[in-house]
Amino acid sequence: MVTYCPNSAPAQLSCLANLAARQGLQEDFEFHPPNLLLFYNLSQVSEANCRAFIHHAAQGDTELLANLPNQRVALQHTALACLGRPHLQLSASDLGLLGVLVCDMEAPQIVTSDPHVLKNLLRCPRLTFMQTTALNTLLASGKTQIGPPGSWNLEALQALGPLATYISPHLWEKVQEAVGLEFFRSVVAAYRAGQLNRRDAVRFITNFLESKANSVSSRLKRRTGNACVRGNITAATLHDDLFLVHYDCTQLESCLGTRVLRANLDPLLQHPLPAECQRVVKAKLAQIYPHGIPEDQLHLITSLVYLYSLAEIGQWNITSGDTVMVLLASDAALENQTEAVLQKYLDHNGKVTGALLVAIGGSRLCWMSLKQIQIIQPSEFR
């Protein structure tokens, strides 16, 4: 049996796969971890073992092949060849065999597949634009387990898991309003609880609100220009899970006073604000703090970091390693922001510790400048 570290990088898995091939161990694939099978020489998989091999490999993490597109395509072709017949329409049995490999299928195959394809798509880390279109076509048909959009209830939408965040504005128009609003509340609550990532939450918010864009109230707001028609935003308003339904980004700008924002920045940013709304908040913070955001407030704006220029970060006062960790723990930080935030800390006699390196983590370590790397003490790598 081939053993390996569960956290092995793709390069290590590739080496192990080559070693297994040289030692004649590929035939023992049932005893090997699924992730390892993804890197095997697929031309050596026998026809007799094809289905069993693919079924086992389909339990792996295909994201490990992100930088090996040819291997990913070869795996898909091998999987489809294993079906042994035309595969334009995948049956429930086919889908059970293919598992996560369906995530690399083209849109026409998804649309014509057995409705159980939703179970496969739930395993996809993300859907392409064409796959999203196929998903909505399938959902609109009413042939899935949850029925037509007009019959959906909260339980049906929640059963879709992250796939619900891909539902198109056109499809949301067909869902009963009360059900849609109830689901909206649940999404915001899940986001606040850290159970839903920002990317998925904002995708849902954007699609859902677009479906409401042609409502009477929306037309009224457009006619009134930038006037606040919903009433001034208060602390209580910000604790309503339907806040973004009542206040779009234009109304946020018109109805949110700087005094309320200063006192309620955290509850406001607990909502999955679309990028346009985030820019409104950033502009208002600049009015409140024209000389740079205080360090105690920096802990609250991790989702906004990507909006700040190097010059704006240069106005910040970062004296604590904890502040650096909080700011860089957010997935929103980009390359320049990462280096700039760290430099502000170093300018205040901070030092790069082992704990800080772990917090920065992964590819962000590559975004440190050469000068920043050179001042790290060797003892911090132990």
| Residue 224 binned pLDDT confidence (cut-offs 50, 70, 90) | low
- For the stretch 139-153, pLDDT in tens is 999 999 999 999 999
Band of residue 24 on the pLDDT scale cut at 50, 70, 90 = low
Helix (H, G, I), strand (E, B) or coil at 281: helix
Amino acid 5: pLDDT: 45
> The whole model's pTM is what?
0.84
CB 380 within 8 A of CB 352: yes
Would you say 251 and 230 are in contact if contact means Cβ atoms under 8 Å apart? Answer: yes
For residues 106 and 42, give the distance between their C-alpha atoms in angstroms, rounded to a whole number: 21
Most confident among 1-5, 279-283, 340-344, 371-375 (mean pLDDT): 279-283
Compute the average pLDDT of residues 309-338. 84
Contact 260, 285 (CB under 8 A): no
Residue 223 has pLDDT above 70, yes or no: no
Q: What is the per-residue pLDDT for 356?
A: 81
Q: Are 306 and 337 in contact (CB under 8 A)?
A: yes
DSSP H/E element including 42: none
Assign 140 to helix, strand or coil. helix
Instruction: Give me the half-sphere count of Cα atoms (radius 13 Å) on the Cβ side of residue 135.
Output: 24
Q: pLDDT for 172-209, tens place per residue?
A: 999 999 999 999 999 999 999 999 999 999 999 999 99
CA distance 93 to 99: 10
Among 85-99, 161-175, 207-221, 259-273, which stretch is predicted with the lowest mean pLDDT? Answer: 207-221
User: Is the pLDDT reported for residue 57 higher than 50?
Assistant: yes
| Residue 292 backbone phi and psi in degrees, to 5 | 115, 145
pLDDT digits (tens, 9 = 90+) for 247-306: 999 999 999 999 999 999 999 999 999 999 999 999 999 999 999 999 999 999 999 999
- The answer to whether the CB of 123 falls within 8 A of the CB of 103 is yes
Question: Within 10 Å of residue 38's Cβ, how many Cβ atoms?
Answer: 25
**Nearest-angstrom CA–CA distance, 196 and 38:** 28
pLDDT of residue 209: 93
Alpha-carbon dihedral 380, 306, 166, 157, rounded to 10 degrees: 70
CA end-to-end distance (rounded Å), the chain: 32
Could you tell me what percent of the chain has a pLDDT over 90? 52
pLDDT of 339:
87
The chain-wide mean pLDDT, for the chain, equals: 87
